[in-house]
């Protein structure tokens, strides 16, 4: 899996970056360095191409996801994170998944549906991808999620369902909603930074 690793302070968490549709392993680096300047960065590129745009799983149309691809790519991503953690001598339980849109979606799906040592997720403009009959017990997980109430891609009903999934598994959930669309906003960056700093306590 194409990726970059930027090593910084060894006593800090590692931010695992998962870009949105059309992004790549460089897209979220500047935001990550602003959010947690001393954290090392492991940034991954989705291996699916949609009309030349990188994604982490296939879709047939906007909002119509290829669920077989979703499950295959979730397993692949999980395996790659474990492999790269070993390669770079990183403690996977201290990694923080940081995703936007498509990357946030697969990151959240991973935490909800896979037995994993990953415990932290920060997901900008994330959505529920499919109905889940059960979620992984995740009492040790802490997640931060954002939603734009004017987002044309993610309904409030969908986002509320995702919050319910995380809470039903025992996750400690921080929800940040604001009246914007699907793009990143400075206020959610500020909220995300406060949440990241709170993890150190």
Catalytic residues: 101, 151, 182
- Give CA separation, 113 vs 51, 96, 109, in Å: 29, 17, 6
């Amino acid at each position: 899996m194409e990726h970059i690793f930027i090593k910084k302070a060894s006593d800090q968490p590692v931010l695992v970056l998962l870009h949105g549709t059309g992004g790549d392993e460089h897209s979220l680096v500047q935001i990550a360095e602003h959010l947690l300047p001393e954290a090392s960065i492991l940034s991954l590129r989705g291996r699916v191409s949609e009309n030349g745009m990188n994604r982490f799983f296939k879709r047939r149309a906007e909002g119509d996801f290829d669920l077989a691809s979703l499950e295959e790519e979730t397993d692949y991503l999980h395996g790659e994170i474990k492999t790269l953690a070993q390669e770079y001598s990183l403690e996977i339980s201290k990694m923080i998944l940081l995703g936007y849109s498509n990357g946030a979606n697969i990151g959240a799906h991973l935490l909800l549906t896979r037995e994993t040592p990953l415990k932290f997720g920060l997901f900008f403009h994330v959505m529920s991808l499919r109905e889940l009959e059960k979620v992984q017990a995740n009492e040790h997980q802490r997640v931060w999620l954002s939603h734009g109430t004017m987002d044309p891609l993610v309904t409030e009903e969908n986002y509320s369902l995702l919050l319910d999934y995380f809470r039903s598994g025992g996750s400690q959930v921080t929800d940040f909603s604001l009246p914007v669309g699907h793009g990143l906003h400075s206020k959610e960056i500020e909220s995300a930074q406060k949440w990241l700093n709170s993890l150190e306590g």
